[in-house]
């Protein structure tokens, strides 16, 4: 199985609108960051974690012609903004797309896209066809991919990370409860929020992320949800040997 970083950027994407900073004007392709999302692909199963605001572009870029399930970490718009672009997948198969999330996340998706759930008067236009599944803290399986939810905090908001075998994905967090840390022991690869160098009220800064890495001790860590305050080449030179910045298109063998 492979994990593919579809997007490694923060909610505005990088480059950011109206910005002429060194990162936003960089010619390094690793400084071009779509909104954060992850693809899990085995020979038999395809799972997308979050339909980012750049979902359509990401699916086209990676030739994702079939999706067995969409799993949501939380309901901030940069993580659900591509929901409407699930329509072609149901057109293609004739079946609804299975969608997984915490109850609050699914409720926000319903209220954000009411036309998809019969909550407003229909116009006759096509709508996303989905089957919603509420997540608990129990592991669940989509095709041949088993995911273990990892409860995290994003400021005062409950969000989920996910562990698949020896790879874990923990974006949009600034606190990992101790019980969740125990679920993250023995990792080969950790993909972890590392927004910028200075502190933020809802995301790990890079120094805070490095403290988490020291505790969890995965073999290798990739930081994601990166802001335009971070220049890839500069940051790589300052990180420990086992920590790197993620970048769009990064492929991790699981």
pLDDT of 128 reads 97
pLDDT of 107 reads 98
What pLDDT, in 10s, does the model give residues 128-149? Answer: 999 999 999 999 999 999 999 9
What span, in angstroms and rounded, lies between the C-alpha atoms of 35 and 128?
Answer: 21
For residue 105, the tally of other CB atoms under 10 A from its CB is 24
- Locate tokens 């994407």: which residue? 13
Of 1.20.1090.10, 3.40.50.1220, 3.40.50.1820, 3.60.15.10, the CATH number of 2-253 is 3.60.15.10
**pLDDT cut 90: percent of the chain above it:** 100
For residues 56-70, average pLDDT: 98
- Where does the pLDDT of residue 254 fall: very low under 50, low under 70, confident under 90, or very high at 90 and above? confident
Round the average pLDDT of the chain to a whole number and report it: 98
Tokens describing residue 216: 């969890």
pLDDT of 40 reads 98
- Where does the pLDDT of residue 243 fall: very low under 50, low under 70, confident under 90, or very high at 90 and above? very high
Closest CA to 109 of 84, 87, 91: 84
- For residue 51, pLDDT beyond 90: yes
For residue 171, the tally of other CB atoms under 10 A from its CB is 31
pLDDT of 191 reads 98
**pLDDT cut 70: percent of the chain above it:** 100
What span, in angstroms and rounded, lies between the C-alpha atoms of 47 and 39?
Answer: 6
Spans of all domains in the chain = 2-253
Say whether 228 sits in a helix, a strand or coil.
Answer: coil
Helix (H) / strand (E) element for 106: namely helix 103-112
- For residue 15, pLDDT beyond 90: yes
- Where does the pLDDT of residue 99 fall: very low under 50, low under 70, confident under 90, or very high at 90 and above? very high
Give residue 48's Cα distance to chain centre.
8
DSSP states along 55-100: HHHHHHHTT----SEEE-S---HHHHTTGGGGHHHHHHHSSPEEEE
- Entry pTM: 0.97
For residues 218-240, average pLDDT: 98
């Amino acid at each position: 199985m492979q994990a593919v970083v579809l997007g490694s950027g923060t909610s505005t994407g990088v480059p950011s609108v109206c910005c002429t900073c060194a990162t936003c004007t960089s010619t390094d392709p690793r400084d071009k960051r779509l909104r954060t999302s992850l693809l899990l692909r085995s020979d038999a199963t395809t799972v997308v974690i979050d339909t980012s605001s750049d979902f359509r572009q990401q699916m086209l870029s990676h030739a994702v012609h079939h999706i067995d399930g969409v799993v949501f970490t939380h309901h901030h718009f940069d993580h659900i903004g591509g929901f409407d672009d699930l329509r072609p997948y149901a057109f293609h198969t004739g079946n609804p797309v299975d969608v997984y999330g915490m109850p609050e996340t699914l409720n926000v998706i319903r209220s954000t896209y009411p036309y998809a759930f019969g909550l407003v008067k229909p116009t006759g236009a096509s709508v996303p066809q989905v089957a919603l599944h509420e997540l608990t803290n129990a592991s669940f399986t989509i095709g041949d991919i088993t995911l273990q939810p990892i409860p995290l905090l994003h400021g005062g908001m409950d969000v989920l990370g996910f562990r698949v075998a020896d790879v874990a994905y923990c974006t949009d967090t600034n606190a990992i409860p101790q019980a969740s840390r125990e679920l993250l022991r023995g990792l080969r690869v950790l993909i972890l929020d590392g927004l910028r160098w200075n502190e933020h009220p809802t995301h790990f800064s890079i120094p805070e992320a490095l403290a988490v890495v020291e505790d969890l001790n995965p073999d290798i860590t990739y930081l994601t949800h990166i802001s335009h305050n971070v220049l890839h080449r500069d940051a790589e030179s300052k990180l420990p040997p086992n920590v790197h910045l993620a970048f769009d298109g990064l492929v991790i063998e699981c």
